[in-house]
Structure 1
Amino acid sequence: MKADPAVQRRLLDLAEVDAELSRLAHRRRTLPEHAELTAAEAAVREAKDKLVEVETAAGDLDRDIRRLERDVDGVRSRTQRDNQLLAGAGISAKQAADLQHELETLARRQAVLEDEQLEIMEQREAVGSDLEHSRVVLATAEHELAAVTERRDTALVDIDTAEAGRRRAREEVVVTIPADVLAAYERRREQHGVGAAALIARRCQACRLELDRTAIAELKAAPADDVVHCEECGVILVRTEASGL
């Protein structure tokens, strides 16, 4: 394949633009914010799960407290009724004894319920502290998630802007390169990741290997408009004044 040396040099401009686009694509894939975002999302999920767990425990305790309050109120009402009956006139000694016995039983039952109620209220107080802490943890995790998302989005916008600029630059170079030369460049880039590279001081700038004497002799003998390739990595090798030929 033949190509004017000036055209071959434009391949170096194209290769540099493509290298910048590759670096931008790599940066997009490896943004530290991606890992930070994954960790922040996991922290939010964990905080939400913990909050649900604590809220469930608090709800269970609240129901227990309400149940005990009803039970205590029931015992107190029964006690009040028995006291009224005991204080009334016209009851027999047996009825009085039965009422007295029931009042003692009610007193013991009320003491048990109130002890249980106190214990559960203490548990609810502790869970209340856990609940507030869990809410703070979730709010903090959500704030961090929002901050990381903003940083990630800002970084992606910067990359998008840089990529758009590089793609415009690529289009400007591409239109100056003949179709057959461009096709050869694209094939090499698809195969090797790099389409063209300069030969500097007898070293290919793509694979960084120095060419042997035989290859150098062949390059010296090749006409300037011959499109040549690196014998090591296969890219189009562009000869310049710095090639050392």
Structure 2
Amino acid sequence: MKADPLAQIKLLDLQELDSRIAHLKHQLATLPQITQLETARAERAEVDNAARDARIARDDLSLAQRKADNDVEAVKARRVRDEARLNAGQGSAKDLEALQHELGALAKRISDLEDIELELMEELEGSTAEAGRLEAQVAEIDARIAELEESKASAEAEIRAEGSAAFAQRGPLVEDFPADLLALYDKLRDQYGVGAALLRARRCGGCGLDVDAAELSRIRTTPAAEVVRHEDCGRILIRTSESGL
């Protein structure tokens, strides 16, 4: 393939621009906020699940405490009725003796229920505190996620603006290239990331390998209008006064 030597040299400007665009795309895909958001969202899901479990436990304990409260009140009400009957002397001596025994049993039952009630109150207090702590942690993570999303959006906007400017520069630049040269460059760039590289001090700027003596000899005798490619990596080699030929 033949191409104007000046057009070949201008490929370096195009390659520099394309490398910049590729770098911006890589930046966009690898923003640190992306990983940070993934970590924060996973943490939030874990803490939110724990908070949900804590709320369920709290609600169960609250229900159990209300039941215990009702049980205590029911037994106390029964004791009040029995005490009233006993004080009124209603019934036979045997009935009154039975009431006394029942009052003793009711006192023991009330004591047991109040112990249960107290334990439930303590557990409920701890469960409520744990649910509150976890809900506060979820809120803190949500705030962190919001900050990361804002930071990510800002970084993306900045990178996209820079990318748009680079793309705007690329349009007029590629209009100056012969179609076949541009097609070869684009094909190589798609394959290797770098389609054209400077031959500097006998080294390929694309792959970083030194060009051997035999290939240098061939390149040295190749007309300037002939497009030269590196035998090892296949990229277009751009020859200048820096090439060491």
Alignment of 1:94-173 (within 5 A): 94-173=94-173
Q: Distance in 1 between matches of 2:106 and 2:228?
A: 105
After TM superposition, give the deviation of residue 19 of structure 1 in Å: 0.8
Q: Distance in 1 between matches of 2:30 and 2:15?
A: 22
Question: TM-score, normalization: structure 2?
Answer: 0.95
SS of the residue 1:243 aligns to: coil
After TM superposition, give the deviation of residue 89 of structure 1 in Å: 5.0
Q: Distance in 2 between matches of 1:184 and 1:148?
A: 42
Identical amino acids, percent of aligned pairs? 38
After TM superposition, give the deviation of residue 90 of structure 1 in Å: 4.7
Match of 1:70 in 2: 70
- Structure 1 contact 192–234 (Cα < 8 Å) conserved: no
After TM superposition, give the deviation of residue 70 of structure 1 in Å: 0.6
- Structure 1 contact 47–141 (Cα < 8 Å) conserved: no
Question: TM-score, normalization: structure 1?
Answer: 0.95
Give CA deviations for 1:48-86 in whole Å, capped at 9, x if unaligned: 111111111111110110000110110011111111111
- Structure 1 contact 44–145 (Cα < 8 Å) conserved: no
Q: Distance in 1 between matches of 2:119 and 2:213?
A: 92
Matched residue count: 245
Q: Quick check: 1:50 aligned with 2:50? A: yes
Match of 1:208 in 2: 208
Q: Distance in 2 between matches of 1:169 and 1:27?
A: 19
Alignment of 1:81-96 (within 5 A): 81-96=81-96
Q: Distance in 2 between matches of 1:99 and 1:183?
A: 107
**CA root-mean-square deviation:** 1.3
SS of the residue 1:56 aligns to: helix
Note the residue ranges of structure 1 that are not aligned, 5 or more in a row.
none
Match of 2:226 in 1: 226
SS of the residue 1:242 aligns to: coil
Q: Distance in 2 between matches of 1:26 and 1:50?
A: 37
Note the residue ranges of structure 2 that are not aligned, 5 or more in a row.
none
Q: Distance in 2 between matches of 1:90 and 1:39?
A: 74
- Structure 2 contact 90–96 (Cα < 8 Å) conserved: no
Q: Distance in 1 between matches of 2:244 and 2:104?
A: 112
Alignment of 1:18-37 (within 5 A): 18-37=18-37
Give CA deviations for 1:148-198 in whole Å, capped at 9, x if unaligned: 222222221122111111111111211111111111111222232211111
Q: Distance in 1 between matches of 2:174 and 2:115?
A: 86
Letter in 2 for 1:231: E
